[in-house]
């Protein structure tokens, strides 16, 4: 791995704790104005001081994020479909030149294992990895789960391993029973957890704690942070779980203490 690639990865995953709290706010690329992100800047800007990285699209950055922010950007570069159509039908929507111009620290795309356009999404990842390695830009692969996919270690392990073998530098996948098997299947490639649909704050913290205890390098959470009634309290609590190994009950107190 070249120096630039290592340096960019170290900006995302803290080299001291080997952990990362990434804030995912890229939902609009296929969901439109997701609850909490209609005015993305109003929701996201107050959370930036607590995020190690921001997963976002180029359009959202230009509309809602100030150019003097200094959080590493993990740029969503796949899309081309919507919630009204087949989700796996993705293409690369942002060139590597544009990603560099926007000062992305990493790029990201989804991979739909078992989806109708599985091969196309793996091809997107392979192309990004080739380009990313040329320019020293890491690629985060999201194991996207379609409606009919089981969220178990067998499926998530299969999807994550295919992303690893295709060359992804970070894997984003979901919490499941026996999560350690998914981490093991990824070798030395760091694994971060996607949050999924909004659930109770304590349950979301329990989920984060589970993956950390089972070897994850952190989280890449969206709705369970920005749709919380106290988003700052929630991201602080998630940080405590991820970076400080704090038990869920103590982390929950951090959430509760924060003003609305």
Catalytic residue positions? 172
Site for ligand R5P contains 59 (CB under 6 A) = no
Cα separations in angstroms, 5 against 26, 58, 78, 111, 129: 23, 21, 20, 22, 11
In angstroms, the first-to-last Cα distance of the chain is 44
Binding segment for ligand R5P among 57-65, 97-105, 124-132, 189-197 (CB under 6 A)? 189-197
Site for ligand R5P contains 254 (CB under 6 A) = no
Site for ligand R5P contains 58 (CB under 6 A) = no
- Antiparallel, parallel or unpaired: β 106-111 and 91-92: unpaired
Q: Which of 8, 19, 209, 223 is in the footprint of ligand R5P by CB under 6 A?
A: 223
Nearer to ligand R5P, 144 or 251 (CB): 144
Nearer to ligand R5P, 26 or 201 (CB): 26
Number of residues engaging ligand R5P in binding (CB under 6 A): 15
Nearer to ligand R5P, 142 or 182 (CB): 142
The Cα 168–Cα 1 span in angstroms is 12
CB-based contact 27:222 (threshold 8 Å):
yes
Site for ligand R5P contains 26 (CB under 6 A) = yes
- Residue 84's Cβ-count burial label (10 Å; 0-12, 13-18, 19+) is exposed
Site for ligand R5P contains 24 (CB under 6 A) = yes
Could you tell me which of 123, 156, 132, 153 has the C-alpha nearest to residue 142?
A: 156
Q: Which of 61, 96, 144, 168 is in the footprint of ligand R5P by CB under 6 A?
A: 144
Name the residues that contact ligand R5P, by CB under 6 A: 24, 26-27, 55, 110, 142, 144, 194-196, 220-224
């Amino acid at each position: 791995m070249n120096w630039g690639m290592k340096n960019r990865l170290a900006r995302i995953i803290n080299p001291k704790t080997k952990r990362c709290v990434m804030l995912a706010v890229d939902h609009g690329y296929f969901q439109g104005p997701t609850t909490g992100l209609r005015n993305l800047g109003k929701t996201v800007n107050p959370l930036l001081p607590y995020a190690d990285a921001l997963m976002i699209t180029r359009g959202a950055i230009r509309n809602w994020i100030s150019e003097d922010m200094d959080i590493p950007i993990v740029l969503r570069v796949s899309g081309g479909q919507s919630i009204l159509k087949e989700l796996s039908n993705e293409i690369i929507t942002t060139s590597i030149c544009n990603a560099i111009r926007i000062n992305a620290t990493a790029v990201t795309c989804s991979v739909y294992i078992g989806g109708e356009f599985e091969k196309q999404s793996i091809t997107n990842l392979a192309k990004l990895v080739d380009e990313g390695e040329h320019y020293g830009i890491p690629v985060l692969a999201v194991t996207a789960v379609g409606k009919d996919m089981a969220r178990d270690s067998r499926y998530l392990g299969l999807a994550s391993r295919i992303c690893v073998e295709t060359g992804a530098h970070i894997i984003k996948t979901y919490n499941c029973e026996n999560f350690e098997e998914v981490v093991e299947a990824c070798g030395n490639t760091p694994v971060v957890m996607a949050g999924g649909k909004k659930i109770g704050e304590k349950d979301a913290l329990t989920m984060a704690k589970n993956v950390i205890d089972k070897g994850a390098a952190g989280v890449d959470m969206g709705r369970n942070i920005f749709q919380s009634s106290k988003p700052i309290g929630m991201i602080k609590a998630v940080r405590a779980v991820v970076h400080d190994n704090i038990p869920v009950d103590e982390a929950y107190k951090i959430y509760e203490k924060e003003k609305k």
